[in-house]
């Protein structure tokens, strides 16, 4: 096993000349190139002819931070050789931490409150057109999905989409040197240049919350039953459940895919998730190409246990009191929501 104590001393003592580690005919050579007074780029070359450096390519293998004495972004040729000083994060992990810091900074400034923005975009016709297009073509589907996925049924919240440019080493070194200042500077730049985008995201969230509020208010909305079905079947852990429906006055029971009942992207259920025998009986009873909807389901059971019973079903009320205080602009504008 190689002894890397000389390499360790090379880093700590800030030795300029290359570090040469010999093991028989193999020679590992490490070269440092100063980025500035605080950081050195580290390069590596290995040879098997007994020579140290040869006129072949040097490979980047990390960055040494003199401020904390750690190696960052350690590559294969350096990784694990100096456990005392190679605990620094990779450039990718640093970028993720940095991005997360910038996003949180922006999200705290915004606070889901349009009043925190000072954008002339409000009066822009393009903004109004985008807002109306979103309301007409996208908002209902998003609100529906959030309501059915109970985890998100308290509505949307602003999430900053800031992302660092790929492999921006200079920015990451600035982040290592001045972590708070680097994050605040990036957040300020983003804030100054993206207020229109942030404004639009906040307005979209308001529209979605208005539509979620309406769903909660409509106790007879079939989405309430569909959500109850999804939650009950999910919690059972079943792959197949027994479903009883009453459709057109005809009652029928059959086995059905639990996964299909738990999907958010449709409001009716087809026959392909049934066994061929059940499918045949279903089509004989209700007609070829027929399907069923949550309102048709009277009971779902699994291993003798009732998971859902329409006769005892009660719509849930929102846990978030804000829903009761949201005024729906759609009512003022005469916009009819279609599910």
> Which of 67, 71, 3, 77 lies closest to 37, judged by CA?
67
- Which residues are bridge partners to 299 per DSSP? 244, 309
> Residue 63 has which token pair?
């960055």
Model-level pTM? Answer: 0.74
CA separation (Å) from 227 to 245, 250, 262, 294, 314? 17, 24, 9, 9, 11
Contacts for 287 with CB less than 8 Å, ≥ 6 apart: none
Using a CB cutoff of 8 Å and minimum separation of 24, what contacts does 48-51 make?
49/25, 50/25, 51/27
- What is the arithmetic mean of pLDDT over 8-16? 87
The DSSP bridge partners found for residue 39 are 65
State percent of the chain over pLDDT 70.
89
Q: What pLDDT digit, counting tens, does each position of 96-131 carry?
A: 999 999 999 999 988 878 777 766 555 677 778 888
- Confidence tier at 266 by pLDDT (50, 70, 90): confident
Span 168-222, pLDDT tens digits: 899 999 999 999 999 999 999 998 888 888 888 999 999 999 999 999 999 999 9
- Is the CB of residue 74 less than 8 Å from the CB of residue 41? no
Find out whether 47 and 39 touch, Cβ atoms under 8 Å: no
Q: How far is CA 161 from the centre of its chain?
A: 10
């Amino acid at each position: 096993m190689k002894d890397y104590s000389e390499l360790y001393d090379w880093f700590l003592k800030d030795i300029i000349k290359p570090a040469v580690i010999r093991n028989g005919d193999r020679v590992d050579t490490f070269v440092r190139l100063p980025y500035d007074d605080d950081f050195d780029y580290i390069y590596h070359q290995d040879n098997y002819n007994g020579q140290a450096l040869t006129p072949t390519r040097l490979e980047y293998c990390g960055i040494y931070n003199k401020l904390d004495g750690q190696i960052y972004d350690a590559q294969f040729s350096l990784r694990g050789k100096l456990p005392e000083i190679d605990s620094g994060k990779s450039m990718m992990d640093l970028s993720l931490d940095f991005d997360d810091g910038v996003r949180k900074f922006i999200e705290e400034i915004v606070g889901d409150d349009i009043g925190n923005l000072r954008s002339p975009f409000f009066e822009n016709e393009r903004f109004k057109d985008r807002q109306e297009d979103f309301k007409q073509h996208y908002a209902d589907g998003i609100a529906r999905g959030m309501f059915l996925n109970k985890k998100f049924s308290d509505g949307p919240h602003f999430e900053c989409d800031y992302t660092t440019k790929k492999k921006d080493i200079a920015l990451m070194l600035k982040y290592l040197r001045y972590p708070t200042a680097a994050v605040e500077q990036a957040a300020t730049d983003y804030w100054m240049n993206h207020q229109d985008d942030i404004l639009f995201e906040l307005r979209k969230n308001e529209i979605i919350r208005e539509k979620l509020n309406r769903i909660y208010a409509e106790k007879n909305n079939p989405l309430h039953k569909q959500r109850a079905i999804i939650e009950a079947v999910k919690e059972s852990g079943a792959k197949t459940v027994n479903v009883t429906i009453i459709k057109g006055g005809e009652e029928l029971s059959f086995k059905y895919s639990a996964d299909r009942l738990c999907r958010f992207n449709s409001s009716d259920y087809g026959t392909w998730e049934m066994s061929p025998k059940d499918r045949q009986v279903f089509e004989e009873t209700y007609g070829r190409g027929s399907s069923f909807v949550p309102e048709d389901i009277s009971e779902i059971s699994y291993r003798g246990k009732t998971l859902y019973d329409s006769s005892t079903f009660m719509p849930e009320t929102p846990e978030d009191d804000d829903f009761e205080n949201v005024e729906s602009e759609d009512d003022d504008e005469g916009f009819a929501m279609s599910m």
